């Protein structure tokens, strides 16, 4: 666990430094708040690949040294950044013709730097084992028969015959790690969702997106584990009752990991909204936003974003007034802003984060504004009676933040 966390953080910091260098060379400024969140987001994205590296290393290298693996991975990661920079300089049209795009960034940035160190350690161990075994054709020596306590001689045993391998189950543990990662992203306790809201990033989406590329590897590990359960375990585990107990524990453990999360009654969006509320409490000055809203004319709040700009040459009858974004709002870096009015006609602002897989945000209005209740999504039927089609309108989960302010999360 320490290795996965340390290497993931190293990758994230390396990516952050590379992005900072690109921004400085292009004349753009640094956004420290956004960069700090990018470290957490990128680290969560790399975690599945690091776990896959550890699994492959355990299976391929018998005398595994995590220190050597970390050093080699760090060197390969640093070497991959210039390759990523060169890849980013290739025109997009040429990338499409070469069938290199996002998958090329994954291959160069994550997979190759993690697999090359394992290959180097495996080759080094193979050469070490070959040197220890001696030249080919050497016959096995026979140990002399030591006399026992009563003076009788024991049987001769060849030196090449070793004792049964200890800790044989380490292969099964390594094979089970990657499939269990898919159970972890189901997040039955909502911990990952809460942390995602706390840093205002979709960590679960990043983890799922990263694990999609490792699905064939996970299925292969699961298949090998099943084969070992019925081919190796009966020869290693003595006693029929103990073998049945181990089989039941393995099957029950996997079933619990993949079935129990679906039985949980805790909505994932609720934990995300609670984490996001804590994030807003630490980052947002609600009082300053409410004070700024009192300086606006309600007639100028016509459902327009802050800093509204109309393209030149476009005729727009009665355009709404362009209101610049204050510092108390701009430092939050929302994806969308919307100036509107509440039920009593007072200015109100709606901030939105997220994307195509869900939106969430913050609404700030007058201190006396009533916070609405959670609105469930509603469906309406369309089409002929014999073949009706139901179209659902998204709802909103609302969580009070302060007088006149609340957190919302889109219910799809």
Looking at the fold, whether 359 and 237 belong to one and the same domain comes out as no
So what's the pLDDT on residue 33? 46
Give the pLDDT score at 163.
40
202 confidence band (pLDDT: 50, 70, 90):
confident
Q: Are residues 246 and 298 in the same domain?
A: no
Q: What is the C-alpha to C-alpha distance for residues 272 and 274, in angstroms, rounded to an integer?
A: 5
Please indicate, yes or no, whether residues 80 and 200 belong to a single structural domain of this protein. Answer: yes
What is the DSSP secondary-structure string of 313-337? T---SSPPPP-PPPHHHHTT--SEE
Give Cβ neighbours of residue 136 (< 8 Å, ≥ 6 apart): none
Same domain, 262 and 280: no
What domain count does the chain have? 2
Identify whether 252 is part of a domain: yes
Distance, in Å, from the CA atom of 6 to the CA atom of 79, rounded to the nearest integer, reads 18
Find how far residue 189's CA is from the centre of its chain. Answer: 16
CB 175 within 8 A of CB 55: yes
Verify that 181 and 93 share a domain, yes or no: yes
- Using 50, 70 and 90 to split pLDDT, how confident is the model at 137? very low
Tell me: pLDDT of 120 over 80: yes
Q: Which of 373, 376, 370 is nearest to 343 (CA)?
A: 370
Phi, psi (deg, nearest 5) at residue 280:
-65, -40
Token readout for 153 is 């001689």
| Mean pLDDT to the nearest integer, 326-351 | 90
255 and 274 belong to one structural domain? no
Range of the domain at 125: 2-130+166-266
Q: Residue 95 has what pLDDT?
A: 44
- pLDDT of 134 reads 58
Check whether residue 246 and residue 294 sit in a common domain: no
Q: How confident is the model at residue 24 (pLDDT cuts 50, 70, 90)?
A: low
The confidence band for 295, taking pLDDT boundaries of 50, 70 and 90, is very high
Q: Per-residue confidence at 108, pLDDT binned at 50, 70, 90? A: low
What is the predicted pLDDT for the residue at 28?
54
Same domain, 50 and 32: yes
The mean pLDDT of 27-54, rounded to a whole number, is 65
Residue 54 lies in a domain: yes
Instruction: Establish if 135 belongs to a structural domain.
Output: no
Residue linked to tokens 């990657």? 178
**Once rounded to an integer, what is the mean pLDDT over residues 105-119?**
72
> 258 with 288, same domain?
no
Q: Specify if 238 maps to a domain.
A: yes
In terms of pLDDT, which residue wins out, 106 or 260? Answer: 260
Decide: pTM greater than 0.75. no
Alpha helices in 163-285 (DSSP H): 170-184, 191-199, 203-212, 215-231, 233-236, 240-263, 268-283
110 falls within a domain:
yes
**Residue, of 3 and 147, whose pLDDT is higher:** 3
Angstrom distance (rounded) from CA 308 to CA 150: 100
Which of 235, 266, 297 is the endpoint of a domain?
266
- 126 or 246: whose pLDDT is higher? 246
Average pLDDT taken over every residue of the chain:
76
Are residues 213 and 80 part of one domain? Answer: yes
The answer to whether the beta carbons of residues 190 and 266 sit under 8 Å apart is: yes
Distance of alpha carbon 43 from alpha carbon 6, whole angstroms: 10
- State mean pLDDT over 151-165: 46
Q: How far apart are the first and last CA of the chain?
A: 35
Instruction: Decide if 159 is inside a domain.
Output: no
- Residue 381's SS3 state is strand
Residue 87 — very low, low, confident or very high, per pLDDT cuts 50/70/90?
low
Q: What is the pLDDT of residue 269?
A: 82
Q: Say if residue 278 is in the same domain as residue 393.
A: yes
Summarised one tens digit per residue, pLDDT across range 269-291 is 888 888 899 889 888 899 999 99
**Mean pLDDT to the nearest integer, 17-39:** 58
Nearest to 41 by CA among 70, 14, 12: 12
Q: Is the pLDDT of residue 201 over 80?
A: no
For position 99, what pLDDT does the model report? 42
The residue to which tokens 């890849």 are assigned: 87
pLDDT digits (tens, 9 = 90+) for 222-254: 888 888 888 888 888 888 888 888 888 888 888
The answer to whether residues 123 and 231 belong to one domain is yes
> For residue 394, what is the DSSP state?
P
Residue 144 located in a structural domain: no
Report if residue 139 sits inside a domain.
no
As a whole number, mean pLDDT of residues 4-10 equals 81
Instruction: Kindly state the average pLDDT of the residues 339-366.
Output: 88
């Amino acid at each position: 666990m320490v290795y996965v966390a340390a290497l993931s953080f190293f990758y994230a910091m390396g990516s952050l430094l590379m992005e900072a260098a690109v921004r400085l060379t292009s004349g753009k400024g640094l956004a420290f708040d956004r960069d700090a969140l990018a470290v957490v987001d990128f680290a969560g994205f790399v975690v599945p690949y690091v776990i896959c590296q550890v699994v492959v290393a355990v299976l391929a290298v018998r005398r595994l040294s995590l220190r050597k693996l970390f050093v080699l991975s760090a060197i390969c990661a640093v070497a991959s950044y210039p390759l990523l920079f060169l890849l980013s300089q290739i025109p997009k049209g040429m990338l499409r013709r070469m069938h290199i795009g996002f998958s090329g960034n994954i291959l160069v940035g994550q997979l190759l730097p993690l697999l090359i160190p394992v290959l180097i350690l495996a080759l080094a161990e193979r050469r070490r084992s070959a040197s220890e075994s001696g030249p080919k054709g050497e016959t096995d020596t026979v140990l002399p028969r030591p006399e026992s306590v009563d003076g009788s001689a024991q049987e001769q045993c060849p030196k090449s015959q070793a004792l049964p391998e200890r800790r044989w189950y380490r292969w099964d543990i390594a094979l089970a790690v990657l499939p269990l990662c898919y159970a972890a992203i189901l997040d039955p306790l909502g911990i990952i969702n809460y942390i995602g809201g706390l840093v205002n990033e979709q960590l679960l989406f990043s983890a799922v997106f990263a694990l999609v590329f490792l699905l064939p590897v996970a299925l292969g590990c699961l298949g090998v584990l099943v084969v070992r359960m019925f081919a190796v375990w009966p020869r290693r585990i003595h006693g029929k009752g103990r073998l049945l107990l181990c089989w039941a524990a393995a099957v029950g453990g996997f079933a619990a990991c993949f079935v129990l999360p679906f039985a949980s009654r805790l909505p994932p969006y609720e934990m995300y909204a609670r984490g996001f509320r804590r994030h807003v409490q630490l980052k947002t000055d609600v009082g300053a936003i409410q004070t700024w809203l009192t300086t606006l004319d309600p007639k100028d709040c016509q459902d327009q974003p802050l800093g509204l700009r109309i393209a030149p040459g476009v005729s727009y009858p009665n355009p709404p007034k362009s209101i610049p974004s204050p510092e108390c709002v701009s430092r939050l870096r929302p994806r969308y802003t919307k100036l509107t009015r509440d039920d009593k006609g007072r200015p109100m602002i709606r901030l939105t984060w997220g994307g195509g897989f869900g939106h969430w945000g913050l609404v700030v209005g007058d201190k006396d504004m009533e916070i609405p209740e959670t609105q469930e999504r509603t469906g309406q039927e369309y089409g002929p009676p014999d073949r009706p089609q139901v179209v659902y309108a998204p709802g909103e989960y609302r969580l009070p933040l302060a007088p006149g302010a609340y957190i919302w999360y889109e219910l799809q």
